[in-house]
């Protein structure tokens, strides 16, 4: 183990955040946490993660439930397509793998909605494989360590190479906490960083993480966006189970723009998050069958 690896792991053992998904190696629970945490703050996820697993403790329970129930428990997390994909992934685990999660990268990538990041997170955090898990925090840390913007072909290779043998679980958690703490996007505290001596940047000059591969840019404005209208329509379905055609504009928050509301509702239907009933009212997909 290198001095940098030892220093980061020692720091993490003293500073580690106590998060519920770190107390399990159940691949289903790990997958649920990773999907919920995409573009959503930890504080919002914790209570919903626990409630979700109480209702759906395994893939079979989730797969057997109607999508409307899964989406109902997703309230407050946003990006409802993630719930749809999680429901589909649960069904795939049950149907293709007998309810047991595969522990191979290719098989995990075949699950609906599971991309390279999520597949590697399951490998590292459920099966404790020595693979690098690159989220936006880790991508930022790697670029700063290297002191330059990274190309897409480099990020995963550097992340994998940095993992100490036999310590994949701890190492990736430590990198997450480093990126969420001393190596944060804004106002990094390089003086508090346990591995600053091995960092090529150390807060001097332009930040190499800006525009680097693996580092997400800013999100588009939510207020007044189609995303906001989509969320309002899904919330209306959660409340009533049905939105009449004449009520779409009001439910979406655009009472003077029914064409926009209809377009956004059609997008929900195309994404499998809603359906039209015989009266052209918006309903849950299960209710239209």
Relative orientation angle of helices 168-180 and 116-125, to the nearest 10 degrees: 120
- Per-block mean pLDDT, blocks of 10 residues, the chain (289 long): 96 95 98 93 94 97 96 90 96 96 96 95 98 94 96 92 97 96 94 96 94 71 84 92 93 94 94 90 80
Q: How far is CA 157 from CA 162, 163, 284, in A?
A: 9, 10, 43
pLDDT of amino acid 220: 59
DSSP class of residue 71 equals: H
Q: Which residues pair with 275 in a beta bridge?
A: 283
pLDDT of amino acid 167: 97
- Domains of the chain as residue ranges with CATH: 1-14+133-219 (1.10.1670.10), 26-125 (1.10.340.30), 226-288 (1.10.10)
Whether residue 138 contacts residue 132, with contact meaning beta carbons closer than 8 Å, is answered with yes
CA distance 269 to 254: 19
Written as one string, the DSSP assignment of 234-289 is HHHHHHHSEE-GGGHHHHHT-TT-HHHHHHHHHHHHHTTS-EE-TTS-EE-GGGG-
Burial class (CB in 10 A: 0-12, 13-18, 19+), 95: exposed
Does the annotation count 54 as an active-site position? Answer: no
pTM for the structure as a whole: 0.90
Note the Cα 153 to chain centre separation in Å: 22
Listed in sequence order, the residues at least 6 apart from 82 whose beta carbon sits closer than 8 Å to its beta carbon are 35, 36, 38, 74, 113
Q: Which of 13, 34, 95, 204 is catalytic?
A: 34
Whether residue 70 contacts residue 233, with contact meaning beta carbons closer than 8 Å, is answered with no
Classified as helix, coil or strand, 97 is helix
| HSE (side-chain half, CA atoms, 13 Å) at 17 | 16
Whether residue 208 contacts residue 143, with contact meaning beta carbons closer than 8 Å, is answered with yes
CA distance 200 to 147: 5
CA distance 58 to 207: 42
Structure tokens at 84: 């749809």
């Amino acid at each position: 183990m290198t001095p940098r690896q030892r220093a980061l792991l020692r720091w993490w053992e003293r500073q580690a955040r106590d998060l519920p998904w770190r107390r399990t190696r159940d691949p289903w629970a790990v997958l649920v946490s990773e999907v919920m945490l995409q573009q959503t703050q930890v504080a919002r996820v914790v209570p919903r993660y626990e409630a979700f697993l109480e209702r759906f403790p395994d893939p079979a329970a989730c797969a057997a439930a109607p999508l409307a129930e899964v989406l109902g428990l997703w309230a407050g997390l946003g990006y409802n397509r993630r719930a749809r994909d999680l429901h589909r992934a649960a069904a795939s685990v049950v149907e293709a793998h007998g309810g047991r999660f595969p522990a191979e990268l290719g098989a995990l990538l075949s699950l609906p909605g599971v991309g390279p990041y999520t597949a590697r997170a399951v490998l590292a955090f459920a099966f404790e494989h020595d693979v690098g898990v690159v989220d936006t925090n880790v991508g930022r840390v790697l670029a700063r360590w290297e002191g330059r913007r990274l190309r897409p072909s480099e990020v995963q290779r550097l992340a994998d190479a940095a993992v100490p043998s036999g310590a994949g679980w701890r190492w990736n958690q430590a990198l997450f906490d480093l990126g969420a703490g001393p190596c944060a996007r804004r106002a990094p505290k390089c003086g508090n960083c346990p591995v600053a001596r091995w960092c090529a940047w150390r807060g001097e000059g332009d930040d190499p993480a800006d525009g680097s591969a693996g580092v997400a840019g800013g999100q588009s404005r939510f207020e007044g966006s189609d995303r906001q209208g989509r969320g309002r329509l899904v919330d209306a379905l959660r409340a009533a189970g049905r939105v009449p055609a004449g009520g779409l504009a009001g439910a979406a928050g655009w009472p003077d723009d029914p064409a926009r509301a209809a377009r956004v509702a059609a997008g929900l239907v195309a994404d499998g998050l809603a359906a039209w009933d015989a009266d052209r009212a918006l309903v849950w997909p299960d209710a239209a069958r």
